[in-house]
Amino acid sequence: MATESANGVSSPELNERDVVITTNDNRNFTVKIGVARVSKTINNMIQDLGESLDLSSGIPLPNVDGPIFEKVLEWCEEHKNAPEIKVEQDPHTRERKWFTMTEWEEEYFRKFLSHLWDLAMAANYLEIPSLYYYTCQKLAERIKGRTPEQIREMFGIEDDLTEEEKAEIRRTNVWCTY
């Protein structure tokens, strides 16, 4: 019965079953439940729907488009059995300790370097901690060591600060080496 198995969180048979997920551009993805569950948002939907879950008619994802979801699925497939990530920070400076990425993960981000913002937003909405935190770290990596001008150019940000404002920032940030 679909009802019981949909509620059984760790049921191996259920993880092997397919679910259809529809993105906001009306693309249908047929995904193994075990893979889709890497997203906590989708997992919750599957559990909440319970008996009313119709695996064939699918789950709608109004906030994610097809091309990005495809990339997210690639991550989920690779991380379907991965343990929860551990976010650690320096107890004194509060600086987050950087995660060590596998060769596969490094390659993944190399491939989708121009989609980091979309991936971060999708991972945040879909609640995939590993993808969310790792993408944010990749973005931090892009910012690190670059000047404000270079960052603006890289992200296409308009410079809307006046010279006075910039001078004031420089004055108050006395310890900063730009």
**Which positions touch other proteins (CB under 8 A)?**
89-90, 92-96, 98, 113-114, 116-118, 120-121, 124, 132-133, 136-137, 139-140, 142-144, 147-148, 151-152, 154-161, 165-166, 169-178
- Distance between CA atoms of 118 and 28, rounded to whole angstroms? 19
Q: Are 39 and 131 in contact (CB under 8 A)?
A: no
Query: Which is nearest to 135 in space by CA: 47, 72, 78, 86?
Result: 72
Nearest approach in angstroms of CB 18 to other proteins is 31
Question: What b/e sequence results for 136-155 when a residue is b if at least 16 CB atoms lie within 10 Å of its CB, and e otherwise?
Answer: bebbeeeeeeeeeeeeeeee
Nearest approach in angstroms of CB 147 to other proteins is 8
Enter the tokens of residue 169. Answer: 């920032």
Q: CB-wise, 19 or 68, nearer to other proteins?
A: 68
Q: CB-wise, 41 or 133, nearer to other proteins?
A: 133
Q: CB-wise, 9 or 167, nearer to other proteins?
A: 167
Q: Are 17 and 31 in contact (CB under 8 A)?
A: no
Nearest approach in angstroms of CB 37 to other proteins is 23
Nearest approach in angstroms of CB 26 to other proteins is 21
Q: CB-wise, 12 or 156, nearer to other proteins?
A: 156
